[in-house]
Structure 1
Amino acid sequence: MKKYAFLLWGNYDPERHCAEFIHGDCLTRICTVRSFEQAEQTVLSLWKEGFGAVELCGAFGQDRALRLSELTQGQVAIGYVTHDPSQDHLFQAFFGD
């Protein structure tokens, strides 16, 4: 079975705010984290469970995505969401700092 996960970073309760779907031979899990340290532990756990790909929400960015890839010794495909820079002001207005 192929296993894929998506990580959301924000003000979530990881125990409650999660979901899992199975379709055919693919398992998709949505995980939430409250910190980068929690993301590291989650990615390590996913790797040990046999997940082959993890997509990260835009809060992670390229540098943190690379750090998580290194954490899995390059054995898990780590991607991250991005957007067109022309929309930076919209994201800033929505998410703020």
Structure 2
Amino acid sequence: MLVVKSILDDLIEKGGAGDFVILAENRQIRINKELLTIHSPVFDAMLKSDCVEAKKNEVTIKDFSYDVVKTVIKTIYHEKPPQDATIDVMEDVCRFVDKYDMKTIK
């Protein structure tokens, strides 16, 4: 399990291997689109629509920091938040989770 976590963390830190890009603070994080839509009906609706994000397989998040988005993605992959996340980041993670209706993370 530790090796898998290390590999996933390494993928996330290096931009990852995924078919969807989330941009935050001009930095990209890749994630598997299906995994993202399983966790968020908001992203699911967005990616099933005819919007530009669905066509480009990319969304820009302007109201959350890169660290917050990265923490959410790590939580999706590991099913729990990283232990090194700060209180401030976790407060914003809660806001992100609420905004994108990520009930599986709450």
Fold match (TM-score > 0.5)? no
Q: Which has the greater radius of gyration?
A: 1
Q: Greater share of helix residues, 1 or 2?
A: 2
Q: Greater share of strand residues, 1 or 2?
A: 1
